[in-house]
A and B are shown apart, each in its own frame.
Chain A
Amino acid sequence: MKDLIKDTIGKIKNQHIKPDPKWKYLIRKYGIWVVFGIIILLGAMSFSVTYFVLASLDWDLYRFMHQNAFSYSLSIFPYFWAIVIAIFLGIAFFDIRRTETGYRFSRLKIAILTIGSIIVLGFAMSFVGLGERLNLKMTRNFPVYSQHMMVTKESQWMQPNRGFLSGTVVAVSNEEIKVDDLNKKSWSVQINEQTFIRPMADIAPGKMIKIIGTVGIGDNFSASEIRPWAGGRMGEGGQSCGGTSNTCSMMLKKIK
């Protein structure tokens, strides 16, 4: 064997070969973790929007649409955000595998780390209302988002022909509520003693409500149920005006 050691050291000296600077290595090393952090952050933001959307949708509307719960849930599931989260999870997985010792982590460990981080951070973001704000920004800035990519609370409750209407109460009388829907169209919503009003529904001018019923001629809409705008199924437990006379009078009094 030729004197490999001597030759190699000679080559290193003659060609002035030096070890690559440490900062280059550190930038690469920590860069991968920074990318991982950004991906987790974006994933958590997507999770917080998903959580907000899931929590704000009314999951019981299948009862009024003659569908079963499962197929209805599939039809309103926020696939867009689920796909976005899946993409972020995939990127995070490959990113962590690119770290210096990432190959030592099993798929399960990486999955627990990434999914866990996204869920925990996502809930924290939801808690401070980031999910709602992001969803609002998306709805306002990207009309295609709420029109085609997602079933949002707004799109769920802007289907008067299917019996779902929402809007802001403009005026209230004994048998009618004037409502401006989300597209600023005015509606005359008829109520009667059979109208089921959720206890949390505040039917007063300026308040937003959701209405289940039947569309009539022109701008008339006959209400069978009124729910508060806020929340998904949170307003459940209301009573019909068709109940005892006391309950009904309380409901009507509330309306008046």
Chain B
Amino acid sequence: MIEKEPKLDAELIELSKKDPESFGLLMERYQGPLFHYIRRMTQLPKDDVEDLLQDVFIKIYQKLNEYNEELKFSSWAYRIAHNHIIDYFRKANARPQSNSLEDYEWEKIISASIHIEKDIINKDCVEKLKTCMQQLPIKYREVLILRFVEEMEYEEIMDILKKPKGSVATLIARGKEMLIRNMREQNINCF
């Protein structure tokens, strides 16, 4: 039996424009990554994240004709999610909730920021560092999440945030600096 080759994103987009059912295949492909991205960014409960994700998918569907093949579909979808999250915070006048990143996700950020071996990080330290991380402005938290938790390349982050590479690099560097400064100010020295 010949196994069907999975369709490319661009092909699925074309099919989705004619038939919403085909859009389901695209959703299937990206619902996991986008769900985690929205959760990490908003730190909302699961049901709220799902509601936001549904809004994001509907926006993606409405904007299918705007998709530019110069970009990776994933970057474009993340961009729409990013804009939706920013809108959500603006409208709800809300700030991200705390403590909803998983410990392994915190560890990724921490080890990337302070160049330590993963196995040195202990649970207690992670708890303390969460506080410092939560104090970072959302623009720095976001790039740190995209870079070190989502493990994206600079080019992808550029495409998501619509910022030049230099600005992305600056945001990451400043985010890391601020995190370290927060740690020093709070006398966190557990390594």
Contacts and interface: CB of A to CB of B under 8 A. Distances in A.
Query: What DSSP secondary structure best describes chain A's contact surface?
Result: helix
A20 interface: yes
A106 interface: yes
B64 A8 contact: no
A186 B24 CA distance: 87
A108 B35 CA distance: 37
B185 interface: no
Contacts of A219: none
Interface residues of A, number: 25
Contacts, number: 70
Interface in A1-19: 1-2, 4-9, 11-13, 17-19
A22 interface: yes
Given A11-B58, A101-B70, A106-B166, A19 B65 contact: yes
Nearest to B155: A104
A25 interface: yes
Nearest to A22: B65
Nearest to A25: B66
Contacts of A7: 54
State the main secondary structure of chain B at its contact with A: helix
Nearest to B68: A100
B164 A104 contact: yes
Contact of B27 (A4, A25, A104): A4
A103 B158 contact: yes
A8 B26 CA distance: 12
Nearest to A10: B20
Nearest to A23: B65
15 contacts: A6-B24, A9-B21, A9-B24, A11-B58, A12-B58, A17-B61, A17-B62, A19-B61, A19-B63, A22-B65, A100-B68, A103-B162, A106-B164, A106-B165, A107-B164
Interface of A: 1-2, 4-9, 11-13, 17-22, 25, 100-101, 103-107
